[in-house]
Structure 1
């Protein structure tokens, strides 16, 4: 049963800063092995003009005792059910890497429910039509760690500390399994605008692969390439946030907040 209570929202979505009245809402969806706290700097930078909510997936941080999600659709459904269906606040989605696929599935759920997102931001991931077999989840721990280090998304000190490593490895393995077993289900294109961002030196996705997201919408499409690798958005935070602000002004106007 859908849990759209305050407890359900608090379980799945973290708000780090109070927004202005009428601020557009931005749901941020973490990468594999990531948690809501990854988006704390985004919330700090955009608040109070934007109501930033970061998804907290089960099996990590304060949800460590819960079982991991078995699929990306399960993650999308968890966030979807945590949203108040009566709330008419303009809603935007931002997903990075694995979070981009979760955001895509969440946008489908929202559109099917008659509440399409104002804009969907997709970062650091190839489009579904360019998906290829991903076998990282089939490797041993050493291969998984090697992949994470190659992407430079986890503090190297964590990966070198055996105790810390044992804390983060289960979430990484569960998320890589969800990504590796993801198969997009054919369906109609989204109607919402898509803003796609990627790094020019990402070892996991080329700019051409990222641009294939254009096939997934009948709405407006924007494509931006930033300098950097898979986690380009950390070093390029200001430029990325400027893109977010500009898109919210265009696609979520009249919200009572000066984005």
Structure 2
């Protein structure tokens, strides 16, 4: 079953076309990684899906309902939550308050007692229960990353859009992150993530969408994507390095 269905999506800023034509369909309950060179349009695509930008053309359907024209808050209410590269935490608030206020500002229909109980449960899942009263500014980098993840896990949504959620994590923290993703998948959630670490992409992904210059060049399993020399050349710039090496030797 399709969770997210994007057809003919286009976005330009003046004469600069960032997303010329994106069509992408995400299957319910799978983890999909969005990869590609810097400037490929990955974060712009996230912004188009979640209402931070409005497309010039195309449709974005979530479980059959059109999202184009909705505010980010209304998109969240429909069942989609996203993270950002910049963590956007409330540094002077406690860990508990950061998660709680995110739920209350999302137009959740839950009551305050449910918000409190849900916050406690999510902090337990991400390993931050012991830091519940610690100010966000006093957390380690990895703890801040997990707090950022906890804020959206606490929302009553089915689709998570994660923008570089594991960047900068050490080995043990990365394993914790993997376990969280696996638990979300086991619960039937759908995940679309932007990640530059290809080891992480290979480990966690059911599917990979390769984006280049705002277009989906390939959408397949990790094994098939990584076996495609054309895509790896685009990602790593191998072809350009070969040209430079040849020019230097001549």
**What TM-score comes out, normalization by structure 1 length?**
0.30
Tell me which structure has the larger Cα radius of gyration.
2
| Greater fraction of residues in strand | 2
